[in-house]
Each structure stands twice: as structure tokens, then as C-alpha cells.
Structure 1
């Protein structure tokens, strides 16, 4: 994709000024964006708390419905992750029985080490908003075929119910099999070819048992923690070459899932907030997958980030839970579309530092595990990235988004087109304005349109207002907040308006959305 051009103009009174060239129609290869581009991956050990048991978790449902109300479709929900490979089925269990390790300073809310679930556990998906598409993982890590088949039967049974208004799109077999050699689930010499053999055996037995070829549900392949980026080792290229798609079960694969984190807090050392937010870092963390994406598209499969977030092991304190992480998430998910990634599933678990949503009351700190007064359900700053991306996308059937190339290390831009016509533009200033900083810089953007005859004449301006990049609350989007008791938006909407010839100012640690009239 050829990026759009930006011209350097001048430096005036400590304010940089640019002319930003915006086309009035999308490039031929501009991606069509799913209304569920922003989706969620849920750690499945505490799934009943997310969904609610006897009744819906109304707070969680509200946060999903907020997004549905903007784009017309709720986020997809993937349920699985690390605890996926620690789950077994027992029909006598109501919902789930979990065994947890003790919390630590680094991991205040650890995943369960053993999960036993019954049929009612899967039926809780009925609590999701009508029309939700679901991915559910079954256990490959323990190499127990019977357990995986029993789980798959229970999953299919839950979605076959006449009362079910949600759709099971995929069954995922195993979580991060490329790490099995390191975590003790397999021998040290475990290879991608062995994975292909195991996956094919599990997929064949599952598909034959539940008659997958007769229903709309398919298999989601991969769910790898990383990639070798070449035709050997654990990569999409390698497993395609090793025949993973050649069996009858393999023909039921329609998408490949990659997992990706921008860093790790597993040893208790995280990165700097500015490093996470930096435009070049975001692009470098994603373009490494371009070859994998192309190889997957060559197989006529979709490529998704089926589990992703800022720092592995639940996030880094003072980074993953901050307003700056919202700017990172927004640029990250939008840039992902530019290299052919069709959906981005941000991982969430109860008490995880990088969550978009904390769906239940917490009794110990997400930062270090220390006891605290009960903290009611709430959204975290990254949730605003999902809201803003949804508004950029809008609710039209066919929406394309193209990156606007800005010759500045801090400013990112994207243009959205509805049915081929320019509708909106978004700009992100990822310069971190932190507590203790005194000079908040600003950049003025003059807007230049490629086709004067179709150029808009006026625009509305909506801003994400952030005090400091390291704030953990009190963000407002167009003067409105989602930091409410019920998760619904509150406050009087405030947007500016201006002729497009006036351009727009954008401060450090700010987002502006322009709606063209």
C-alpha cells in the first residue's frame, strides 16, 4: 500500500505545522474493515464471572453493547488462552471448578492451574449480546483426545440450543503450542511437524464427532505465541507446507490466529510508556508478520491477532493500565489492518493490568496484589481505543481505512471511507506528556485534499482529552466518559466545528477525530 503524503512546512512559536494530504477516495488496495475489528480474548478460567451465571453480568454486557451501538455489530469474543490447555470436562460440574496458585507481586491475578467445567459453563455464552460471534478453545496441551472431544461436544451442544442468539464461528485446538516444549507440555524437541500430526488427529476426531462439516462452525488454526517467519519452525508457512490443511478436517480451517505482545513483564521488568506508544515501535512490532499474513492469504484464509496486548504476563504496572496505552492500542489496531490483519483480539483476564474492562469487583491491587478497598467494575483507559476505533469505522456496510503517512515520529493518521467516499480522518499524537512535564507541545495540521472538486468544506472535531499519559482514569472522549457505575457513556457531548481550511491542532498525548461535512 502506498502511504499518503505529508509535506513539512514550518516551525512557528514552538508549534510544528504540517500540510497533510488526504485523498477523497480510497486506494485500490485499501482494506475493508470489519465492524468487529476490535474484539476481545477472554482468559477462560473465570469466564462465569465475565458472563454472569444465574443472570447476565450487566456491566460487562453494557461495555460490549456500547461498541455494538456504534458499529452495528458486537465485538467477537474468544474464550480460551493459557487456561484453555488446563481445562477438562465433567458433566457433573456446574459452571466451573478452578484451582489457583497464590498471587504474587508480578502476577497479582494468576490463571488457574486446573479447571473443570460442565455443560452449563458453555451455555453462559447465551448471556452475550445477540449476534455475537464466538471462538472457543479446547485442550491440546495435556494431549488428552477424549477430554478435547468432550469439550467440543459440550460447546457445540450449547450453541445448538434454540435459545442461543449468538454464533460459534470457530473451535480453537490448543493455545500457543509453540511453547509446549518450554512449558513442559511436550518434549524439548517438539516440532511443528509433530504439532501438525497432533492437530490433525484432534481436529479429525472432533469434526467427525460433532459433524462439523454439516454446520457453520469451522476451525481456527495456529494460536501460536510467536513465529519463525520462515518455512521451518512454528510459522504459518511451515505448517501449511507440512500439510495441516490437506486433511478433511484441515479443509474446515478458514482462519489463522497469531498471538503477539509488544513486550514482557514475566520477569517483573517492563518497558517505558513512551517506548510502547512510539509510532515506529508499533509498526516494527507488526510488519514482522507481513510474510506470515501474505502466506496465509495465499491459502485463502483470514489472518487475525487472536490474542494480543501490551506486555505479556498480564501487563506492566504504570504502562499497560494508563492513558498512554490507549493511544498505543488505537494506533496498533488500526495499523494492523494495513498489513492485512482482519481482526484484533485484545486479551483480558480478571485483574489483569492491561485489560480494557474489569468486569467484577476487585479486592486486591492489579499492580502488586496488595489488599485494597473493593473496587467496582470499571473500564480501563485502553477501552477508549476500542470506542474511538469503532467511531472511525462507523456503522456503514462497506468501510475502508487507509493510513495517512505523516513525516513525524509522533503523529499517526488514518482516513475512513464509506462506500468509496471520504467520511472521517483520525490523528494520534503519541508524544507522552507525563506527570512532572510542564511544556505540552502541539502540532498544527493543515488539510490538503487530493481532489479539490470532491473536497469537504467543513468538519467537526472530537477529542480524546487526557491529563497525562500516565493517568489511569478520568479520560473523556468528546467531553463524555465511560467511567460510570454501569459502563454506559455519560456527560454532554462536546465537539468542535471548523472550516477545513482552518486545519486542526493536536497536543501531545491526544487523539482527534475529524468528521467531514
Structure 2
């Protein structure tokens, strides 16, 4: 059946699938249910519309409620232990397509109070979209801010419903990414900046879209005729973001953006229980390892290193629990770098000296002996300077 098919065969498929889903998702494998994917495109899809042009928000809500209620009824009968799980919805492809997400919610999408996450999809651009470049599209903080702004507007309008807002599907360039862009180290820097910017704007969760042989995939679970099995460049952006966010279940962590004037740079601060614990600087000025990023010749131009001087404010700036608690200024910090030979690199990437290459230890972290780690910086009266290479990122860790 085609996605979104609206006929008796499609309805029967839904009913028949419920017990199969129960069998597959038992034992703690289920997070929540999702009914329909990108329904705002059902009447306009280039792959073939499955709804008429007159299809609107109220009709969609009626159909979604009918289906989600049937799912809950079927789950209660087939696997009652999974009946308490809620939904993420509406999983629209964006915020400005045929169906308006705000109108959809106001038309009663959550009248049953079973939606646990408001899910929206977002991509910076398209894989074949004219004018898309590594520097201008991905390694560009202004591009990220502009893209997320549309989502934040909807998130703010939906805040009265008191349901967390997430990006249920996102990645660099839709249609599975573009070679030389989505699978390059520069995309890992975009990944890192995008995740932390979203966190700083109270987007509760970001799900990066994955798939077999997708160009923007963080890893490839098996060999295919186009992509070999292994850890890919975008994965390292995930690792750096996770290291910066740290344990979100054990502590109250707040992320604050540190405004910078250059659109190819960004910085963030992590406050844990109100105390400043980490700062990260992302330098997205493009430096290619090879000539023009496409040649087999190595770039003869030395790699620039930029110095960033930061002064820690004596008063708390992040509105998190306990942010007014007194804390002594740190005297030193450890630097942890995200590094590759250039923005066009697709291998040889490390975070804090660790490689996650599948070939080394099946994707487990391996500390490389040829990568220098343990750099520290002195903090004097709350001020310190951090060197960051072009196409690189450095986390400043103030410790426990």
C-alpha cells in the first residue's frame, strides 16, 4: 500500500499490522506510536497525491483521531502492556505546507490527550537544490538560525497546549543527503551546531534521520554496492554534542547560545544545576584538506587557527534551577577538540583523540596515539583564550 492510502485495503492493513507491531515492539523496544508520516504532503506529493486538493486540517484531524483510536483499541486487545504508550504527532514535513500545524492542533488533534510529543520535520535544504554548498548552507550558523526560526514560531504558538515540541525527523539535506556535502566532516560541524542551537531554544528532542546508504547517515550497518559498513563523518557531530550535553537524566542542564558576530562561528555554554560547566566554540570557516575539496591534490595553504577570548560573567545568565548559586571562578580548563584534516574529509575524524571507526574496534572508541590530547588553558579573573582551527570545534571543560 502507498503511504497515506485512504481506502478499505489500507484500513485493513492498519488493523492487520497492530498485532505484528505488538510482537515486534514488546520488551521495552517501544518509545511511542506514530500514525502517519508527513500528512501535510498527502494532497501535493510529487510521488502522487493520496488526498484531494480540498483536503484540510479538520478532515485530517477527523481521520487521525479515527485511526489513532483504532490503534489504541487494537493494542489494548493484542498487547495490553503497550496500551499506555502515547503518540507523537502530527509529524508534518514542515511548517508551511498544505496543512497548517497550528490550525491542526486548534481543530482538536489532541482532544483525547494522548499526544506526548509535538513532532515536526526540518531540513536545511535539498540534496539537488540549486546553490547548496558546504560553506553557505551547512557550515553556516545564519542558515541554521533561519531554518529553525520557522519551527520556533510554531513551537511558541503551540506552547499553550503544554506538550513538548521536538524535531521528529531532521538532517542536513532532504532526499537522503548529497555526496561531498552530507557525508563530509563539514556536515558533522553542522550537526553539532544544529543540535546545540536547538537545545538552546528549548527544542526538547532532535531525531536525525537515518537509512541504509543514506549520504547523511551517521553509520552504515552493512555493506551495500554504494556504501561500505562503518562509522561515518556525521556521527562525530553526534558524539561531540552528546559530550557537551552530558548526562541529561542525572542533572538539570541548560544550554545558552553565546552570540558571535560571524555567521561561520557559533558558541554555547552548558550550565549544570545553574553552574557553568562547559563552553564549546564551533569554527565553521571552511578549510579543505584537498584543493577545492574535490581534487586529489592536498591543500598547500596552511590551516588558519583563530583565537577566541571569553570572559566568564560573575552573574548567572542561564535561567536554570539554582542559577544564582554562588560558585568560584575556575582557574583552568581542559580542551577537547573535534578534529579532521579538513571540512571535505570523510575519514580520519576524532573527538578528544578518540576514533569510532568500525575498522579499529567495531565502532567502539579507540584513543589514537598520534593525536595530542590533554591541552589545558589557564583562566585568570574569569578570562581565557581558546585556539580553534578553521573547520574545527573545541569544548572547554571546567570539570566537576
**CA distance in structure 1 between the aligned counterparts of 2:49 and 2:232, rounded to whole angstroms:** 34
Deviation larger for 335-344 or 495-504? 495-504
Q: Which residues in structure 2 correspond to 1:350-429 (within 5 Å)?
A: 350-364=212-226, 366=227, 375=228, 377-395=229-247, 396-429=250-283
Residues of 2 paired with 1:148 and 1:422: CA distance?
A: 49
Distance, in Å, in 2 between the alignment partners of 1:270 and 1:149 is 45
Question: Which whole-Å deviations, capped at 9, do the CAs of 1:244-294 have from their partners, x for residues lacking one?
Answer: 122x3xx111211111111112x5757111012111001101011112111
Give the 3 Å change call, closer, same or farther, for CA 306–323 of structure 1 in structure 2: same
SS at match of 1:401: strand
2:314 counterpart (426, 446, 451): 451
* Cα distance in structure 1, aligned partners of 2:110 and 2:390: 47
Q: Give the structure, 1 or 2, with the largest relative contact order (CA under 8 Å, sep 6 or more).
A: 1
Q: CA deviation at 1:498?
A: 2.2
1:209 matched to 2:71 = no
> Deviation at 1:412?
0.7
The yes-or-no answer on 1:507 pairing with 2:373 is no
The residue that corresponds to 1:146 in the other structure is 12
Q: Does 1:344 align with 2:209?
A: no
TM (norm. structure 2) is 0.84
Counterpart of 1:180 in structure 2 is 42
Distance of 2:114 and 2:23 partners within structure 1: 19
Residues 286 and 391 in structure 2, CA contact (< 8 A), matched pair in contact too: yes
| Superposed counterparts of 1:26-41, under 5 Å | none
2:58 to 190, 193, 199: 193
Root-mean-square deviation (CA, aligned residues, Å) is: 2.2
1:473 aligns with 2:347: yes
Structure 1: runs of 5 or more not aligned: 1-84, 87-138, 367-374
1:179 CA drift (Å): 1.0
Quote the offset at 1:140 in angstroms. Answer: 3.9
TM-score, scaled to structure 1: 0.66
Equivalent residue of 1:333, what SS?
Answer: helix
Contact residue 140 and residue 264 of structure 2 kept, 8 A: yes
Contact residue 458 and residue 498 of structure 1 kept, 8 A? yes
CA distance in 2, matches of 1:294, 1:181: 27
Counterpart-to-counterpart distance in 2, 1:281 and 1:483: 30
